[in-house]
Amino acid sequence: MQFKRTPDHRFDNLADYPFAPHYLQVDDTQNGSLRMHYLDEGPADGAVILLLHGQPVWSYLYRHMIPRLVDAGFRVIVPDLIGFGRSDKPSQPQDYTYARHVAWTSDWLTQLNLTNITVFLQDWGSLIGLRMVTAFPQRFSHVVLSNGGLPAGSVPADFTEFLKAAYKTLPVVKAHELGARFRDTSGIPGFFYWRKYCAESPDINVAELVELSSFSTLSADERAAYDAPFPDVSYMAGVRRFPSLIPLLQDEPEVAENKAAWEVLAQFDKPFMCAFADSDPVTAGGDAPFLKRVPGCEGVEHRTIANAGHFVQQDQPEACVKAILDVRRSR
């Protein structure tokens, strides 16, 4: 598998990101390997906190949470998903599949042999992370889910062909229009505009997407750091591809696998907290199926994180840390 590797100098002197890099080689599923980057902070014998990011960000998203968790005595581990951050970036969009992302990240997890994990999941971190929780439930002790989910072909079958046809005719809107598309429930779901934008927009910019999806305004240093892994669009195959991999339609790959994962979640009785933001139109209401179906949600103090958008870790890192500490105290 051909891949690109972001030059190290792109990560020099990033604001509030003093962490040392660590690397593992994971099976690329094509008789080769890819280098996966992760942070490993805090005492080696501390209880493990695993923080998983989504698209289009990387471990920099967790920069303000890591020191607080380390100060609380935890070993904090934060990978960059393949295609993001300091991890290798397969060059072709078709190299990225949902199944491969689960395989790559699972390989990394089992190589580290992590156990007794408290995991914080958001965006694609939840689509991949929940598959790992259900594949290796013995490794996980607590779960915090924020602004994420586990789609399994939720779009009705009789609407699928209409959406496929409509998608081909959708315009590639400007980034600043995406928020309004998500909030407009009168027509084509906003997510399909997002899918189209990421796949086809000629001027895609990671920092702009983060800022548009956040409650707060990014500083110039923050914008530079979010852009750091992507010197140019040739490094962005993963950024472009991720939205197209979410299995919303019933005939998309990984629907059956996600349905099977839901069956495991329906038996998962370890503490499971939902901590969704109050201002994220992308995942609003996404906590409902978990609260209804996951036994581990019972007896846990769920919460809505105020003044936060999709990237709740960027907007309210202290509230995210509190959610992690609270879920660990719940049982």
Active site residue 278: no
The whole-angstrom separation of Cα 208 and Cα 199 is: 16
Active-site residue identified among 88, 123, 287, 315: 123
Would you place residue 186 in the very low, low, confident or very high pLDDT band (cuts 50, 70, 90)? confident
CA atoms within 13 A on the CB side of 61: 35
Assigned fold of 3-154+247-330:
Rossmann fold (3.40.50)
- Is a pLDDT exceeding 80 seen at residue 331? no
- C-alpha distances in angstroms, 91 versus 34, 174, 196, 257? 12, 25, 19, 26
Would you place residue 290 in the very low, low, confident or very high pLDDT band (cuts 50, 70, 90)? very high
The whole-angstrom separation of Cα 44 and Cα 115 is: 13
The whole-angstrom separation of Cα 270 and Cα 307 is: 29
271 within 8 A of 175, measured Cβ to Cβ: no
Predicted local confidence at residue 69, as pLDDT? 98
- CB atoms inside a 10 Å sphere around CB 168: 7
What is this structure's pTM?
0.96
Chain-wide mean pLDDT for the chain?
Answer: 95
CA atoms within 13 A on the CB side of 69: 32
Could you give the strand order of the β-sheet that contains 33-41, starting from the edge strand earlier in sequence?
22-27, 33-41, 75-79, 48-52, 117-122, 140-146, 272-277, 303-305
- Is a pLDDT exceeding 90 seen at residue 155? no
The whole-angstrom separation of Cα 67 and Cα 69 is: 5
- Tell me: the pLDDT tens digits for 55-79? 999 999 999 999 999 999 999 999 9
Active-site residue identified among 28, 280, 315, 326: 280
Would you place residue 188 in the very low, low, confident or very high pLDDT band (cuts 50, 70, 90)? confident
The whole-angstrom separation of Cα 183 and Cα 140 is: 35
Active-site residue identified among 37, 101, 142, 310: 310
- Among the ranges given (85-99, 132-146, 174-188, 315-329), the one the predictor scored with the smallest mean pLDDT: 174-188
Active site residue 280: yes
63 within 8 A of 17, measured Cβ to Cβ: yes
Predicted local confidence at residue 154, as pLDDT? 84
